[in-house]
């Protein structure tokens, strides 16, 4: 079955069928006739022929660090929503936070037939920048700020600063911090900087002995919390860089016989569904992960449509979610957290 045969059966021109297959303008009446013929015949357009004819594949490469993470799944949902609406297919690569895998997928997409790449990574290295500089297709970053790319990222520093002030509003004087490596700009260094800024605004110094790092898992959060409280048992308020880490820390605190929030107040970042299920419900910050996927995919589609890489950068806001793992502000004993 050829385009000419479809055109003859549908009673339209070959150019009309071509426009239909390439998402160009076709009247609704002619669309219906072409669609009916394609359904009857089972015609499938040749992908290679389309690539040669248009120079476009209709495929977007999407590189994500951990697809079983709730935050990343929300990013992926946003990306998929836009790409599906715009007629693109998504080729998904899961790297498990492995830098070598990220570099390998960038090289693959550089040489394979995709129209553009949406890229999310925990760490950005000079090797990432070098490979991206050699790519002749647009790349848009999701979740990290990169001056050399279009990107969509979160205001992690301000979110952590404001959440720290919520954590300390009841009058706690010995806050601790449980985060990830500072090489991770967004979750590591930016959220740590926001925490320290929030403590400074409350007039509270934080020694290194009350800060520790771990990985992105409940198990690691639990283990690291145990080590942190062993060296700094005076901690009465704990800031965790992610909800997952916070839930792990809550497991340790409960096992150690500490009451939350009476003995130790605790907060996380991300507003995952688990924050509403754990007891007590976790005070956290909502980050707009799905929106970041929507915005990043929209930028990429704009670049592909216009042919101009505008190096657009968008910083998203946040929303504080006050729940039961923190106490009301000092001087307001009757208040309850805003759910």
Give me the mean pLDDT over the 95-99 stretch: 90
Give me the mean pLDDT over the 155-169 stretch: 98
User: What pLDDT, on the 0 to 100 scale, is given for residue 68?
Assistant: 83
User: What pLDDT, on the 0 to 100 scale, is given for residue 24?
Assistant: 72
Residue 54, pLDDT > 80, answer no
Q: How many Å from the N-terminal Cα to the C-terminal Cα in the chain?
A: 60
Residue 45, pLDDT > 50, answer yes
User: What pLDDT, on the 0 to 100 scale, is given for residue 15?
Assistant: 83
pLDDT band for position 2 (cuts 50, 70, 90): confident
Give me the mean pLDDT over the 282-289 stretch: 97
List, in order, residues 6 or more apart from 77 with CB less than 8 Å away: 290, 293
Mean pLDDT, the chain, whole residue set: 90
pLDDT band for position 124 (cuts 50, 70, 90): confident
pTM, full prediction: 0.80
pLDDT band for position 222 (cuts 50, 70, 90): very high
Residue 1, pLDDT > 80, answer no
* Of the listed ranges 6-10, 15-19, 289-293, the one predicted with least confidence: 15-19
List, in order, residues 6 or more apart from 111 with CB less than 8 Å away: none
User: What pLDDT, on the 0 to 100 scale, is given for residue 337?
Assistant: 38
Residue 331, pLDDT > 90, answer no
Question: In percent, how much of the chain has pLDDT > 70?
Answer: 93
**What is the Cα–Cα distance from 306 to 309, expressed in whole angstroms?**
8
User: What pLDDT, on the 0 to 100 scale, is given for residue 25?
Assistant: 80
pLDDT digits (tens, 9 = 90+) for 133-144: 999 899 999 999
User: What pLDDT, on the 0 to 100 scale, is given for residue 308?
Assistant: 86
Structure tokens at 9: 């059966």
**What is the Cα–Cα distance from 314 to 150, expressed in whole angstroms?**
8
pLDDT digits (tens, 9 = 90+) for 183-194: 888 999 999 999
The three-state (H, E, C) secondary structure of the chain, written as one string: CCHHHHHHHHCCCHHHHHHHHCCCCCCHHHHHHHHHHHHHHCCCCCHHHHHHHHCCCCEEEEEECCCCCHHHHHHHHHHHHHHHHCCCEEEEEECCCCHHHHHHHHHHHHHCCCCEEEECCCCCCHHHHHHHHCCCCCEEEECCCCCCCEEEEECHHHHHHHHHHHHHCCCCCCEEEEECCCCCHHHHHHHHHHHHHHHHHCCCCCCHHHEEECCCCHHHHHHHHHHHHHHCCCCCEEEECCHHHHHHHHHHHHHCCCCCCCCCEEECCECCHHHHCCCCCCEEEEECHHHHHHHHHHHHHHHHHHCCCCCCEEEECEEEECCCCCCCCCCCCCCCCCC
User: What pLDDT, on the 0 to 100 scale, is given for residue 48?
Assistant: 47
Give me the mean pLDDT over the 59-81 stretch: 93
**What is the Cα–Cα distance from 329 to 334, expressed in whole angstroms?**
10
Question: In percent, how much of the chain has pLDDT > 90?
Answer: 72
User: What pLDDT, on the 0 to 100 scale, is given for residue 339?
Assistant: 32
Give me the mean pLDDT over the 264-270 stretch: 98
User: What pLDDT, on the 0 to 100 scale, is given for residue 53?
Assistant: 47
Residue 115, pLDDT > 60, answer yes
Q: CA 313 → CA 122, 152, 292, distances in Å? A: 18, 6, 11
User: In the block, which residue shows the tokens 């959440």?
Assistant: 163
Residue 333, pLDDT > 60, answer no
User: What pLDDT, on the 0 to 100 scale, is given for residue 51?
Assistant: 47
Residue 336, pLDDT > 80, answer no
Residue 236, pLDDT > 70, answer yes
Kindly report the backbone phi and psi dihedral angles of residue 227, in degrees, each rounded to the nearest multiple of 5, phi listed first. Answer: -65, -40
Residue 130, pLDDT > 50, answer yes
């Amino acid at each position: 079955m050829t385009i000419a045969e479809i055109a003859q059966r549908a009673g339209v021109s070959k150019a009309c069928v071509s426009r239909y297959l390439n998402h160009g303008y076709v009247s609704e009446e002619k669309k219906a006739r072409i669609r009916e013929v394609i359904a009857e015949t089972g015609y499938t357009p040749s992908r290679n022929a389309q690539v040669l004819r248009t120079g476009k594949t209709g495929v977007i490469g999407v590189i994500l660090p951990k697809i079983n993470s709730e935050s990343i799944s929300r990013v992926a949902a946003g990306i998929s929503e836009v790409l599906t609406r715009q007629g693109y297919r998504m080729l998904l690569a899961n790297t498990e936070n492995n830098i070598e895998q990220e570099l390998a997928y960038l090289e693959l997409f550089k040489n394979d037939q995709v129209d553009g790449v949406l890229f999310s990574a925990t760490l950005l290295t000079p090797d990432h920048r070098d490979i991206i500089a050699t790519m002749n297709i647009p790349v848009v970053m999701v979740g990290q700020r990169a001056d050399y790319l279009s990107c969509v990222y979160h205001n992690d520093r301000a979110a952590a600063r404001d959440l720290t002030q919520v954590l300390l509003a009841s009058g706690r004087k010995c806050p601790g911090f449980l985060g990830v490596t500072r090489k991770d700009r967004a979750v590591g260094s930016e959220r740590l900087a926001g925490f320290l800024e929030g403590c400074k605004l409350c007039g509270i110094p934080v020694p290194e002995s009350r800060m520790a790092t771990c990985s992105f898992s409940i198990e690691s959060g639990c283990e690291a919390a145990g080590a942190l409280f062993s060296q700094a048992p005076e901690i009465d308020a704990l800031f965790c860089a992610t909800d997952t880490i916070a839930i792990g820390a809550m497991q340790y605190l409960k096992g150690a016989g500490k009451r939350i929030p009476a003995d130790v107040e605790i907060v996380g970042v991300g507003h995952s569904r688990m924050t509403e299920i754990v007891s007590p419900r976790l005070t956290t910050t909502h980050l707009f992960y799905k929106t970041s996927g929507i915005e990043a995919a929209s930028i990429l589609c704009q670049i592909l449509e216009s042919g101009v890489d505008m190096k657009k950068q968008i910083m998203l806001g946040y929303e504080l979610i006050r729940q039961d793992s923190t106490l009301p502000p000092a001087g307001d004993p009757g208040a309850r957290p805003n759910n």
